[in-house]
A and B are shown apart, each in its own frame.
Chain A
Amino acid sequence: DVKVTQSSRYLVKRTGEKVFLECVQDMDHENMFWYRQDPGLGLRLIYFSYDVKMKEKGDIPEGYSVSREKKERFSLILESASTNQTSMYLCASSKGVVQYFGPGTRLTVT
């Protein structure tokens, strides 16, 4: 069974804080993705990575950065959290087309 885990299910941070969201997969997948989900907007791709130390911008990378130092781990960083980054953050990994998602992190920025 594919397992994608995310470091926190719920997180509350203050405006201006630096926030780290961690994602780990145990299936040796090359590809990893970060999305955010907002009502009425669906899943929007923030960043993705198809190899260690590689990263590509998705549709909405502004205000975010990522790190992939090891194959199994893909981190999303909010350099200076803002209230408009309050959202559900979803990590996924894949080897082929099918992406497997983690349980999500509900981030609230106050």
Chain B
Amino acid sequence: AQSVTQLDSHVSVSEGTPVLLRCNYSSSYSPSLFWYVQHPNKGLQLLLKYTSAATLVKGINGFEAEFKKSETSFHLTKPSAHMSDAAEYFCVVSDESNTGKLIFGQGTTLQVKP
């Protein structure tokens, strides 16, 4: 069965410094991988997705993630944090049933300090 592990429940950075949110997955096949962001009192928004094309995926708002099959990782990065990046981030893997069903990690809260 697939699973997703987000290695940090809480990450704090200063504005203007790099962001790294770590994610490892477990799957018996080659899944699609996603990062979603959830701002307070707002719906989940897709940041980026990997679907077996280029291993370095660029998303919205300057975020990107690299799929590393050998490490079963899909870490999310951004070169320079902005105050508006403060939110909850979810790493997500597609279920092997190929129905689009998603399996979410526990989430990482990103705090951005001025």
Partners in one complex: no
